[in-house]
Amino acid sequence: MIDAMTLHEWLVEAEKKTEDAPWLASKTLGSSRTWIAANRHTVELTVGQRLALDELVARRLQDEPLAYILQSAPFYKRDFYVDPHVLIPRPETEDMIDLAKKTGPDAFIDIGTGSGAIAITLALETNRPVFASDISPDALDIAKRNAKHLGANVSFFKGFLLHYELIEAIKRYPSITICANLPYLPDSDKAIMPKSVTAYEPDLALFTGQDGNQLIIELLEQISSFCHSRAGGNPALNVFLECDPPQAKKLLDFSKSLFPDAEAEIIRDHCGRERFIVLSLQTPNHS
């Protein structure tokens, strides 16, 4: 038989095991952490609540990410639904939003949208048309759910990188900004990454190939083909690619080889790491 227990008593014991106990209580009781703090001494837990709370603590002690347990992750001051079908948004990716917003294009593209965090945030922050794509139908379902919940107008597509349907959707816009946070970690990093990542987050959203650059290089090649096939109008194109900092210089050199006339640079994230490859270019005239 389980003894009666107040929320305060449970929190005292649970906080010895995980500092996330107040978050777990908030999730189970459906109340804010402010309410939890104000009422912890007076709330009597039911047997069902005790069991549910203890189960969440056990999951957290197995290194399951708190975001998956709460089914919520913050990004750019908004909460996004997440589950193991999508990568948990990282704070450094918020820097891409700040960079992309400054370009003021006629439309944005978010390639590899996952939870939709980048696309939805750009739509809400700029009120510009946003087109988002992912190869995973499960990820797209989550992105659409987040867009609906947050009231964002985003057009979603299923496909690989800069695919035909996406190109057709954006061809009428004279200036475009492409954002992509693609998988960029080398497969070898699996051996050194924490269990909270390798055991729970989707491999396909994290790792790709021997050096991690495979998808980014493919996307850059697709963008190059897109630029050379687009006749007339000289549309402006800005590209923001999140990358693995140790690979930034290599990717910058590759970008310059593909786009010798473009402005190309590495931008550091707010922690000082070489995180983003940024390109600004015009597609060529065709006479």
Rounded Cα distance between 211 and 187, Å, is: 7
Q: In degrees to the nearest 10, what's the CA dihedral of 160, 162, 168, 172? A: 150
The answer to whether the CB of 274 falls within 8 A of the CB of 268 is yes
pLDDT digits over 149-196, tens only? 999 999 999 999 999 999 999 988 999 999 999 999 888 888 888 999
Average pLDDT on 64-93 reads: 96
Rounded Cα distance between 183 and 268, Å, is: 18
44-45/5-6 β-pairing: antiparallel
Taking residue 44's Cβ as centre, other Cβ atoms within 10 Å add up to 10
93: which 2 tokens?
């990716």
pLDDT category of residue 66 using cuts at 50, 70 and 90: very high
Q: Is 33 left (phi over 0), alpha (psi -120 to 50) or beta?
A: alpha
* Half-sphere exposure of residue 233: CA atoms within 13 angstroms, side-chain side: 14
Rounded Cα distance between 283 and 227, Å, is: 5
Specify the pLDDT at position 190: 85
Give the three-state DSSP class for 250: helix
pLDDT category of residue 207 using cuts at 50, 70 and 90: confident
175-180/236-242 β-pairing: parallel
210: which 2 tokens?
């021997």
Specify the pLDDT at position 37: 93
Average pLDDT on 267-271 reads: 94
Instruction: Classify residue 92 as exposed, middle or buried by CB count within 10 Å of its CB (0-12, 13-18, 19+).
Output: middle
Specify the pLDDT at position 234: 52
**Helices (H), ranges, the chain:** 7-14, 21-29, 33-39, 47-61, 66-70, 94-101, 117-126, 137-150, 164-170, 195-198, 214-229, 248-258
Q: Report the share of the chain in percent with pLDDT over 70.
A: 95
The predicted model scores a pTM of 0.91
pLDDT digits over 227-263, tens only? 877 655 556 899 999 999 999 999 999 999 999 989 9
Rounded Cα distance between 14 and 232, Å, is: 64
Specify the pLDDT at position 189: 87
Specify the pLDDT at position 90: 95
Specify the pLDDT at position 281: 86
pLDDT digits over 6-53, tens only? 999 999 999 999 999 999 999 999 999 999 999 999 999 999 999 999
Looking at the predicted structure, is the pLDDT value of residue 284 above 60? no
Report the mean per-residue pLDDT for the chain. Answer: 92
